Homo-oligomer: A and B are copies of this chain.
Amino acid sequence: MKNNQFAIRPTKFDDQIKELKEIGFLDKDNSSETDSIKLWKSFLSKAFLEAKTSSNFEEKLRTYMATETQNLSEYLDSATNVSVVAFYNVALQLLKFNPDVDFSFDAPLTAMKKIQLLIANHQNGYFTTSELKSAWYWLLATHNKDGQTFIDSLASKGYFTTFYGKVSKPLLFNGKTLPVFNPHKLIREVVYVESPQDSDHDGKRDLLKAEILRPYETEHGLKVPVLYTASPYNQGTNDETGEKLTHNVNVPLTHKEPNNLQYKDIEYVAKRTELPEPRVINGETKKAEETFARESSYTLNDYFLARGFAVIYMAGIGTKDSDGFRTTGDPDETTSTISIIKWLTGDLPAFTNRTDNIEIKAWWSNKKVAMTGRSYLGTLATAAATTGVKGLKTIISEAAISNWYDYYRDGGLVIAPGGFPGEDADVLAEETFSRRLQPGDFHKIEDQWDQQIKDIQVGQDRDSGDYNTFWDARNYHKNFKNITADVFMVHGLNDWNVKPRNVERLWNGIKYNGVTQKIILHQGQHIYINAFRSIDYSDIINLWLTNELLGIDNQAKEIIPNVIRQDNVKPETWTAYKDWANEDDDTLKYNLSDDKLTTEKSETATASFTDNLPKTDFEFYRDDNVTWQKDLLADNAKLLNTHLTFKTAPLTKNLLLDGKIKLNLQVSSSEDLGMLSFQVIDFGKTKRLNVSPSLLSKNSLAETYDWREDDLREFTLGKESTAKMITKGHINLQNRKNNYKVDELKPNIFYNVTVDLQPTFYNLQANHQLGLIIYATDFGMTVRGNQNIKYTVQLDQSTLIVPLHK
């Protein structure tokens, strides 16, 4: 096992002592202790929470070994000083490491270093009492074998329950907040925010339901910040009716009439519409009228609920208990998303119910908000940030869409999110339209909703796949310049649902905004990473939010690296970088020659393939996209004529591919239409990380004592494989200039096309080969027409440009 902790805050000795006192490890009895053995024993006695008597405590001591021959009880009885070796032998056991597997009693520090655990300063082989206090401090801050700091593991055993009801502000340790607020006494209340919009056109401003969880202490004067998760899924989903709208992708690609569109022709410009008057406020109260039992929660938020943060979930327009219609990411949804933030800062009213217009203010709010959540949730956080709304200090956008065109389209083609062929903006609108789950409400608006879906279907324009006004309204890049919140991004380099371009554009799009930006790039697909063993994600976010929302000067912005990248070769390896996908990166240019990628000049030559399969093969791959992808990489005979594969010679050294691989191609189609797909491949026999993380232990990660739990997970190596896709891309040959200008395509005429593939950050090992596959139908993402179209590439006029990390 290898530990990676990025959220450890360098702390001066005096501050260590102060914190140890605050959390109760140092008290009047042991603060001035001069006997290091007695001091250590007093620390241990406070950590062994299960033992209520000295007999029991002594028994527990006997279960630990301090040296190769002495158990901890014997050692404490006989030694006169605490040896560094004994301390770390015991520390490793306290951190759940085992001498049969993880370390040996004669060299605990060797193991500590190998596992990458924190070792405290010491002048010689024995700790002074000061050094020991410091060593205990750092032990508390160190992760154990289950991916939790020792202090958090003590919290999960009840260490901080004695603080419940006795604290009037958050308690900090090593720059991060501790769980000292009783999660079973949380206030759960519902308010209805009046949002300045009328998205269902009923002549009234939309009321939006918000579910609030806040510490009980707010009832007695504590002002708290908010973690706000905008989740359209939160109030339920319509899986069946959404499924019904799913589009058939077994249709042919069609010729598009060329146009001469310029951006201004398709640009989205907000319409000025008359907004209904706000409701007349009919009184005010501090007490909510509605509660709820179990919110649909994000475990990262659960972790913060005992740590002095409020959490709010809001599903927004068109969801259960709220007004309005779903729109899949347009400005109306952004307005909906930020309305609760405006309420929290006092700029919008909310009501206790939908009828009486009794206002309720966020009197407990410290007016500082962070947004959290993955996928659509992170997308709305990004959308909210682009408004520059006051009070939104930071967003943590995980696997977020930054442009809906990059989610459902690419290069003038309909390109499905990986795993969801046939999904589109209309399907997602229907799926998240949870007003349907309340028949009494839905009954009133059924017809209007049908019309809304039809409008979305017209707007999304599956026929062309082009960028248009509909998509321009859903492109957050346009408003990146307005972002004033600090942005913490998290994305999977293997996320083919929300593809990496979405985060790369955000990363590179706000560099001159003057905000702090951080990014973690992991090797997962479309997942959360807050319960991984090898990285301290929850701690990082704790450090970050303690700084952003509590205004504590904990140096979070300096401590957390700008870029943290999980390695794709070595498990449990996370590395800090200064930047990612920087446009000043060096590049490596490969020419296409025969079946090779080469830096030599290539001979004049063409290569062709035909995008057509026998019916049974076509149907097989249509129904099994996973096998199709496997067979494509393996050059399976069935697929041999449907693609071209080019490979470099085995590499002489490791390459760190960093950013967008670009392809310049001269190509012809045998018809007046055509599409191309590309995959860049790592060819080489090796064990690679599994696609999905492995479950290490279910429910083993407690957010604190007797509270919610998460499953501990980690990426592990799978069986040996011969190839892995690094990145991919697609283009409609009629969109050579851009995504909205449709070009003519004459059969059998060569055209130049340039394609930026999805950005990556990939460690390609020596002796492996870099590969490029050119094909047309992408069974998992494009339409599947099985059309008899021949594509020909002018090899000597085609190049692959690979960016390398500087």
With A52-B289, A157-B293, A292-B50 as known contacts, state yes or no: A59 contacts B353, CB within 8 Å: yes
Q: Is A439's CB under 8 angstroms from B55's CB?
A: no
- A127, CB-defined interface residue at 8 Å: no
Residues of B within 8 A of A184 (CB): 184, 706
Q: Is B294's CB under 8 angstroms from A702's CB?
A: yes
- A321, CB-defined interface residue at 8 Å: yes
Q: Is A58's CB under 8 angstroms from B355's CB?
A: yes
Complex CA gap A58/B290 in Å reads 12
Q: Is B321's CB under 8 angstroms from A63's CB?
A: yes
Q: Is A50's CB under 8 angstroms from B706's CB?
A: no
Contact flags A177-192 to B (C-beta < 8 A → 1, else 0): 0000000100000100
Complex CA gap A240/B293 in Å reads 42
Give the number of copies in the complex: 2
Closest B residue, CB atoms, query A159: B293
- A356, CB-defined interface residue at 8 Å: yes
* Nearest CB on B from A265, distance (A): 39
Complex CA gap A354/B58 in Å reads 10
Residues of B within 8 A of A439 (CB): 63-65, 71, 93, 98-99, 105
With A50-B292, A240-B100 as known contacts, state yes or no: A55 contacts B321, CB within 8 Å: no
Residues of B within 8 A of A73 (CB): 440
Complex CA gap A294/B356 in Å reads 45
Q: Is B291's CB under 8 angstroms from A52's CB?
A: yes
Contact flags A704-723 to B (C-beta < 8 A → 1, else 0): 01100000000000010000
Contact flags A60-79 to B (C-beta < 8 A → 1, else 0): 01111100010111000000
Q: Is B705's CB under 8 angstroms from A51's CB?
A: no
- A438, CB-defined interface residue at 8 Å: yes
- Could you say which of A93, A101, A293 has the most chain B C-beta atoms within 10 Å of its C-beta? A293
Q: Is B353's CB under 8 angstroms from A241's CB?
A: no
Q: Which of B98, B321, B438, B623 contacts A437 (CB 8 A)?
A: B98
- A509, CB-defined interface residue at 8 Å: no
* Nearest CB on B from A498, distance (A): 20
Q: Is A190's CB under 8 angstroms from B63's CB?
A: no
Closest B residue, CB atoms, query A358: B55
With A437-B98, A439-B65, A441-B62 as known contacts, state yes or no: A290 contacts B71, CB within 8 Å: no
- A156, CB-defined interface residue at 8 Å: yes
- Could you say which of A59, A93, A292, A439 has the most chain B C-beta atoms within 10 Å of its C-beta? A439
Residues of B within 8 A of A321 (CB): 63
* Nearest CB on B from A189, distance (A): 9
Q: Is B55's CB under 8 angstroms from A705's CB?
A: no
- A788, CB-defined interface residue at 8 Å: no
Q: Is B294's CB under 8 angstroms from A156's CB?
A: yes
Q: Is B440's CB under 8 angstroms from A50's CB?
A: no
Residues of B within 8 A of A353 (CB): 53, 55-56, 59
Residues of B within 8 A of A352 (CB): 53, 56
Contact flags A83-95 to B (C-beta < 8 A → 1, else 0): 0000000000100
Residues of B within 8 A of A53 (CB): 289, 352-353
Q: Is A440's CB under 8 angstroms from B52's CB?
A: no
- A275, CB-defined interface residue at 8 Å: no
| A309-351 interface with B by 8 A CB criterion | 321
Complex CA gap A321/B69 in Å reads 20
- A28, CB-defined interface residue at 8 Å: no
Complex CA gap A93/B105 in Å reads 63
Q: Is B156's CB under 8 angstroms from A50's CB?
A: no
Q: Which of B50, B293, B705 contacts A190 (CB 8 A)?
A: B50
Complex CA gap A238/B93 in Å reads 14
Q: Is B101's CB under 8 angstroms from A240's CB?
A: yes
Q: Is A289's CB under 8 angstroms from B100's CB?
A: no
Q: Is B443's CB under 8 angstroms from A65's CB?
A: yes
Complex CA gap A52/B238 in Å reads 28
Q: Which of B49, B63, B238, B293 contacts A156 (CB 8 A)?
A: B293
* Nearest CB on B from A110, distance (A): 17
- A409, CB-defined interface residue at 8 Å: no
Complex CA gap A289/B49 in Å reads 11
Residues of B within 8 A of A63 (CB): 321, 438-441
Residues of B within 8 A of A64 (CB): 438-440
* Nearest CB on B from A382, distance (A): 25
* Nearest CB on B from A801, distance (A): 39
Q: Is B436's CB under 8 angstroms from A98's CB?
A: yes
Complex CA gap A719/B52 in Å reads 57
Complex CA gap A292/B49 in Å reads 8
* Nearest CB on B from A327, distance (A): 20
- A158, CB-defined interface residue at 8 Å: yes
Q: Is B100's CB under 8 angstroms from A56's CB?
A: no
Q: Which of B49, B56, B61, B98 contacts A293 (CB 8 A)?
A: B49
Can you pick out 9 interface pairs between chain A and chain B where the beta carbons lie within 8 Å of each other? Answer: A50-B190, A50-B290, A52-B290, A55-B355, A63-B440, A64-B440, A72-B440, A157-B293, A184-B706
List of 4 A-B pairs having minimum Cβ-Cβ separation, nearest first: A71-B440, A63-B438, A65-B439, A157-B293
